Structure 1
Amino acid sequence: MDVTILINSIIYALLGVLIFFVSFIVVDRLTPYDLWKQLVEEKNTALAIVVGATALGICLIIAAAIH
């Protein structure tokens, strides 16, 4: 196995996670309410589904851009 392929895979994985984290923070800041309070304290299931779908959408875009 070529070591450069492994290193490149690790770099792209970390880059993808970093981009996802930053973009999710942006989504959190753009919402007019506190996501953590709504999800954890008030157990807003509908919002949890929307946030999960948003996270999956962001991940698909990042994966397609890196691939």
Structure 2
Amino acid sequence: MEYLAAVQLTEMISTIVYTILGVGLMGLVWKVIDWITPFPIMKEIEQDQNMALAVLIGMLFISIAIIIAAVIVS
């Protein structure tokens, strides 16, 4: 029974660590995207209501999240 509790504890800890790692990588990706674009992304989306850019950034984050999840699982 103690073995089962230890396994569940390690799974919980690894889940927390991988969650923090994934969120950190997504933040890093956002900083890189913001750094390489020649215009301010947040201004374009919020003030200029650029829906195409918002959809593009959203799709980019979804694809990067899938890649990060696949790397973490493997």
**TM-score of the alignment, normalized to the shorter chain, above 0.5:** yes
Unpaired runs of 5+ in structure 2? Answer: none
Question: Out of 18, 29, 42, which is 1:23 matched to?
Answer: 29
TM-score relative to the length of structure 2 = 0.85
Counterpart of 1:46 in structure 2 is: 52
Between structure 1 and structure 2, the one with the greater Rg is 2
Q: Distance in 2 between matches of 1:31 and 1:59?
A: 20
Q: Secondary structure at the match of 1:6?
A: helix
Which of the numbers 9, 18, 32 marks the counterpart of 1:3? 9
Q: Which runs of 5+ in 1 are unaligned?
A: none
The answer to which structure, 1 or 2, has the higher relative contact order (CA under 8 A, 6+ apart) is 1
Aligned residue pairs, count = 67
Matched AA of 1:62: I
* Structure 1 residue ranges (4+ consecutive) displaced by more than 3 angstroms after TM superposition: none
The TM-score, its normalising length taken from structure 1, stands at: 0.93
